Every structure is written in C-alpha cells, then in structure tokens.
Structure 1
C-alpha cells in the first residue's frame, strides 16, 4: 500500500502528483495488465530477444 504524507502547507495537487509517480514506479498497473492473459515463457523470451535486437540496431545507427 502506498502512503503519501502531505507536508505542512503542501498543495494537494503536488501530493497527488507524488502519489501518481510512486504508483507508476511500483508498476502495479503493468503487472495487472500482464496477468490478464497467460503468455508462454518461450513467447516472452522471444519478445525480449526481439526487443534487444531492436535496441541494438538503434544504437548502431547512432
């Protein structure tokens, strides 16, 4: 559970922004989306290899 302590005199919008940032960093939403559908380990591995190859290609172009 995320806890955001609102400091004395702090704007509520600022505290809400900190909460949203923490929520995004713990990747709760991403994990929920991943668990919606089962993906075989071999498919995950294939996607990781494809992503790595794409990143390597981008670095070579620079």
Structure 2
C-alpha cells in the first residue's frame, strides 16, 4: 500500500500527482498486465532480442 503524506497547505491535485508518479515507479500496473496476459517465454525472449537489435542500430547510426 502506498502512503503519500500531505504537507501543510498542499494542494490535493499535487498530492494526487505524486501518488500517480509513485504508483508508476513501483511497476504495479505492469505486473498486473503481465499476470493478465500470458506470453510464452520464447516470445518474451524474442521481443527482448528485437529490442536490443533496434537499440544497437540506433547507436550505430548515431556514431556515424
């Protein structure tokens, strides 16, 4: 459970924004999605390899 202490005179909108940011950093949304949608390990590994290849191509183009 996330706890966001309110500071004296703090706007509720600002506190809500801090809560959302903290929630995103915990990775809870991603974990929920991964549990909901199963992917085979081979598909996950293939996606990781493709992402690494894409990033490598970007870095190679940048160095030229």
For normalisation by structure 1, the TM-score amounts to 0.91
| 1:5 shift after superposition | 0.3
- The structure with the largest helix share of the pair is 2
Structure 2, unmatched stretches of 5+, are none
Aligned to 2:33: 33
Over 3 Å off, 4+ runs: none
| 1:43 shift after superposition | 1.2
> What value does the CA root-mean-square deviation take over the aligned residues?
0.9
Q: How does 1:1-62 map to 2 (within 5 A)?
A: 1-62=1-62
Structure 1, unmatched stretches of 5+, are none
